[in-house]
Amino acid sequence: MKMIIMMSTMLSMLFMNTKVPMQMIIIMLMQTTLTTFMMSIKNKSSWFTYMLMIIFIGGMMVLFIYITSITPNEQTKKNTMTIIMM
């Protein structure tokens, strides 16, 4: 449980440092998956968390299509300092 919370916190910090919309969407999907996993551990029934995940992924697919149609393809710079800090 602590590991899931730590990973969620690290993803939140990583989200604040990204500028590419595609990376933001991937980080949001990973964070949502961690949140629903944590909720399914806490709840006795995982039905609510499953429905929440399906609805959120549907909304993210719409945003993904919208953002990819607007933004040009950008090359991401590999920042070694950020990788070292992680």
Q: Is 3 a member of any domain?
A: no
- Count how many domains the chain has: 1
Q: Is 57 a member of any domain?
A: yes
Residue 66 belongs to domain spanning: 13-70
Q: Is the overall model pTM greater than 0.75, yes or no?
A: no
Q: Is 85 a member of any domain?
A: no
Q: Is the Cβ–Cβ distance between 53 and 39 less than 8 Å?
A: no
Q: Is 78 a member of any domain?
A: no
Q: Is 8 a member of any domain?
A: no
In 10 A of CB 36, how many CB atoms? 20
User: Which one has a higher pLDDT value, 67 or 76?
Assistant: 67
Give the pLDDT band (50/70/90) at residue 80. low
Q: Is 83 a member of any domain?
A: no
Based on C-alpha coordinates, what's the Rg of the chain? Answer: 15
H or E element in which residue 41 lies? helix 21-42
